[in-house]
Amino acid sequence: MQAAGKVYLVGAGPGDPELITVKGAKLLKAADVIVYDRLVNVELLSYAQPGTELIFCGKSPERHTLPQEEINRVLVYYARQGKTVVRLKGGDPSIFGRVGEEAAYCAECGIPFEIVPGITSGVAAPAYAGIPLTHRDLSSSVAIVTGHKRVDGQGDPVRWDQLATSVQTLVIYMGVGNLPYIRDQLLKYGRPAATPVALVRWGTLAKQETLVGTLDNIVEKVQEAKFKSPAIIVVGEVVRLREKLAWFEAKQAAGEGTEQRGSSLPALKTVVV
């Protein structure tokens, strides 16, 4: 009987390919199979060896190339062939990455796995926009929140009534399309209308964009700018620090942007399931 391989659930980082961890890069070099998401920078695939099987499972808000249940089965299928499987996820796999479901399925099937953390966009994108999430004088608490509405009729998973005034900095993922509702909930439960808000799109990449407003006007600003996902939303007084700390825009203005490793890929075997 063939010994089982192993599944590595790896965080790809927030976008800039240089922000993947050393361990993540090593695992990409050692992988027999890489199963990767839409928000993974494809430059990271150049770490793979020739002959590595690449499987794109491009999940987006509108459509999924592979349903989650099928992704789970793909991981186990290749691991049972004795292969080293890297499940490459944008950001950190444990932050809205459904890593719990994939790890649980591996465990149920008797497949060994490891979770390899990555830098999540909810930390990296604000940092590149000059917005530290905590500050001794402004914020000693942070909450990471999903802004994505559930479609299964189970209601809003977020307790906005508790978060509105109890946490100084809110970091909201997947919330651009739901921003009017989020704004209304925060105002309804006591967050001041003058609270600063920032949206950071394509954080850490050369094409990064940042839009700043307040709870009172951010929805209109987003509509006027036609600002779309993927973007991180930051709510809190720390947004004001950006006026002095917007270091990345200075690099962009100088034509520097982020370092690129090159877009050429080795001769990889790509598999679409």
Query: Hey, which residues are catalytic here?
Result: 37, 59, 174
Question: What's the CA gap between 133 and 147, in Å, rounded?
Answer: 18
Q: Tokens 């990455």: give the residue.
A: 97
Region label for 204, one of left (φ > 0), alpha (ψ between -120 and 50) or beta (otherwise): left
Closest to 26 (Cα-Cα) out of 53, 4, 44, 50: 44
The answer to whether the beta carbons of residues 120 and 14 sit under 8 Å apart is yes
Supply angle C-alpha 9, 14, 15, rounded to 5. 110
User: Cα separation of 167 and 236, whole Å?
Assistant: 9
- For the beta carbon of residue 66, count every other beta carbon within 10 angstroms: 18
Residue pair 39/254 in contact (Cβ under 8 Å)? The answer is no
The closest alpha carbon to 86, from 21, 26, 4, 3, belongs to: 26
246/114 Cα distance (integer angstroms): 36
